[in-house]
Amino acid sequence: MEKFVLEKELAKDLKLIKMTSFKDMRGEYIKSYSYRDLSSLGIDTKFLEDNYLISKKGSIRGLHYQRDNPEAKLIRCLEGSIMDIVVDLRKDSDTYKKVFKIRLSRGDDLLFSIPDGFAHGFISLTDSTVLYKSSNYYYPKDQYGVSIFSSEIGLDKILEEENIENVIVTEKDKSHAKIRDI
């Protein structure tokens, strides 16, 4: 079976990976995680948790990050479709405060590898299920956020293009700082 393939590197260590899959008359086999394959692509991260997020169409999650306990993440859309959004918060980065958006869908066999130092979130374009691996544990007192309503993200354009009329977002996520204020 073939190894994972680097589809694209959007910024230093921010990578889109094509997983290994095999289809025949019985169905489909997908290798969704391989430490060996990922480390050969420069992703040498030990993941500590798996999290499933089941979201309704129009749901907005994030953008979240932890300052003292940063997390690298590995994102995969198991059902439906999402617009995954990250903001580079690494002050020494050439892409500091830059926004990156990637559409992930069931069947595209893509993993989105996000290193430490990024705020992360997504918009559920359909009812969706997302699996993400995290390199650290969740610490509620170390939870911070970036506003999805920051102009740099272009939320209105995404919603219009995807024909999403109603969004579902928590009060906490509505209250996060805009990118320009971080």
List the catalytic residue out of 33, 35, 52, 64.
64
In the residue annotation, 65 being an active-site residue is answered as no
Beta strands in the chain (DSSP E): 5-11, 14-18, 20-24, 27-31, 49-55, 60-66, 73-79, 81-88, 99-105, 110-114, 118-124, 128-134, 143-145
Using CA atoms, how far apart are residues 143 and 90, in angstroms rounded to an integer?
Answer: 16
In the residue annotation, 132 being an active-site residue is answered as yes
List the catalytic residue out of 65, 120, 132, 176.
132
Using CA atoms, how far apart are residues 110 and 126, in angstroms rounded to an integer?
Answer: 17
The SS3 call for residue 35 is helix
Catalytic residues: 64, 132
